[in-house]
Amino acid sequence: MVALFSRTVSSQESVLKTLRREIFSLLTIKLLALAVMFFIFFGPSERPDVNAESIKDALLSQTEVTP
């Protein structure tokens, strides 16, 4: 009897299971999309090498300065 009732209940959708499945699938897709975007557009190879010298080149004039 209990087993029969269990089967009837198990045919009903568990709202929490559905919610968890939806959220975890979306989170997975989101993290994948973020990772893909990171590696295509923002990975270490895409980052300009910036240091005091390159900042100086960008901000100060390119003409020679005599002290």
Partner 1 sequence: MTIATETVVDLSRLQFALTAMYHFLFVPLTIGLAVLLGIMETVYVMTGREIWKRMTQFWGLLFGINFAMGVATGITMEFQFGTNWAYYSHYVGDVFGVPLAIEGMMAFFLEATFIGLFFFGWNHLSKVGHLVVTWLVAIGSNLSALWILIANGWMQKPTGAKFNFETMRMELVSLSEVLLNPVAQTKFVHTIGACYVTGAIFMLSISAWYLLRRRHIDFARRSMTVAASFGLASALCVVVLGDESGYVDTQNQKMKVAAIEAEWETQPPPASFNVIAFPDVEARQNYGEVKIPWLLGLIATRSLDTEVKGINELVDLARSRIEEGMIAYSALETLRVDPDNSVARTLLEDHVDHLGYALLLKRIRDDVDNATPDEIEQAAWSTVPNVPVLFWSFRVMVGLGIFFIVLFAWAFWNVCRRRYDNNKWFLRIALYSLPLPWIASELGWIVAEYGRQPWAIEGILPTALGVSSVSASMVMFSLAGFVLFYSALAVADVYLMVKYIRMGPDEFFARRHRAQSQSGMEKAS
CB of 30 to partner 1, least distance (A): 7
- Give the residue from 8, 28, 31 showing the smallest Cα distance to 20: 28
**Binding of partner 1 at residue 35 (CB under 8 A)?**
no
CA 43, chain centre distance (Å): 12
Report the SS3 class of residue 44. helix
CB of 16 to partner 1, least distance (A): 6
For residue 67, give the 3-state DSSP assignment. Answer: coil
Interface residue list for partner 1 (CB under 8 A)? 2-3, 5-6, 9-10, 12-17, 19, 22-23, 26-27, 30-31, 33-34, 37-38, 40-42, 46-48, 50-52, 54-63, 65-67
